[in-house]
Structure 1
Amino acid sequence: MDYVAELRKKVGHLPLILPGAVVIAFNKQNQVLLQHRKDGGWGLPGGLMELGESLEETAKREVKEETGLEIAGLKLLGIFSGQEFHYKLPNGDELYSVTAVFQTNQIAGKLVPDLSESQELRFF
């Protein structure tokens, strides 16, 4: 289920408070994984919470979906929210992001980008 899409059917473009998570993932060379998103920007892998998930589960699921990697040993670095995290998207949707930022160096699997969301994945 895409929770946000279902909400949008009911509320249109009105502002929503949307929780999510991103992950600062370090490889063995202490490089950070970044995702070159379809919108052109580089960022941390992550995304929005679905119903019934914890923030940690959201982080793990999103990293797996976007990068193909399994992660563990998440450490919460902080929660970011407030007026400076208000966004108005090109389609008119408004949101206030509440984002948990996690860090890990426990990474397994093969790096495989989800080409529907990413142009490229790279460690820097």
Structure 2
Amino acid sequence: MPVSPYIASLRAHVGHALLLIPAVTAVIRDGERFLLARHADSGQWGLVGGSIEPGEHPADALVREVHEEIGTGIRVLGIVGVYGGEELTVEYPNGDRVAYVTTAYSCTLTGAPRPDLDEILEVAWFSRDEAVALDLQPYVERVLADA
């Protein structure tokens, strides 16, 4: 998965040290079902989202990330909540450490999702009960409970 020029410039100075990064998460619903994505880096199921670039409005970052990862648009309905902590601290295979603080937004799709096969391997719809039986990224169950 590509690293943004901004993150790359920070990494040039701090190496693999922990970075606190603002992010966005799409909680995409269709009635009682949620669209989850299986992430290539971990193989776990989670929500679609990513980092906010400098100067970018969070909702614009969300629209960009959804389009990049699953090739479709969304309609942003509102904020579900803001999340951080150990569940959102990640160490990537190259040793980079990141602590995300993510704003989760409730959304609906405006087209058919198509995983990019780079960051996202597959997408599928799950009820909340079905989702908790999956190998989920650590923060997802908390976000779905709030949604």
Q: Which runs of 5+ in 1 are unaligned?
A: none
Within the alignment, does 1:89 sit opposite 2:92 as a pair? yes
Other-structure match for 2:52 = 49
Other-structure match for 2:117 = 115
**What is the CA deviation profile of residues 29-75 of structure 1, one whole-angstrom value per residue up to 9, with x for unaligned ones?**
53211111112100000011112111111111111111112112331
Amino acid across the alignment from 2:110 = A
Amino acid across the alignment from 2:66 = V
Q: Which runs of 5+ in 2 are unaligned?
A: 127-147
Greater helix fraction, Structure 1 or Structure 2: 2
Other-structure match for 2:32 = 30
TM-score, structure 2 normalization: 0.74
Alpha-carbon distance between aligned partners in 1 of 2:77 and 2:9, rounded to the nearest angstrom: 29
Q: What is the RMSD computed on CA atoms of the aligned residues?
A: 1.7
Aligned length: 122
Which of 85, 105, 108 in structure 2 is aligned with 1:102?
A: 105
Q: Is the 8 A contact 1:71 1:104 kept in 2?
A: yes
Displacement of 1:4:
1.3
Other-structure match for 2:129 = none
**What is the CA deviation profile of residues 80-118 of structure 1, one whole-angstrom value per residue up to 9, with x for unaligned ones?**
12455333333222222111111123x212221111111
- Deviating beyond 6 angstroms after TM superposition, the runs of 4 or more aligned structure 1 residues are none
Q: Work out the percentage of aligned pairs sharing the same amino acid.
A: 36
Q: Is the 8 A contact 2:81 2:103 kept in 1?
A: yes
Amino acid across the alignment from 1:57 = D
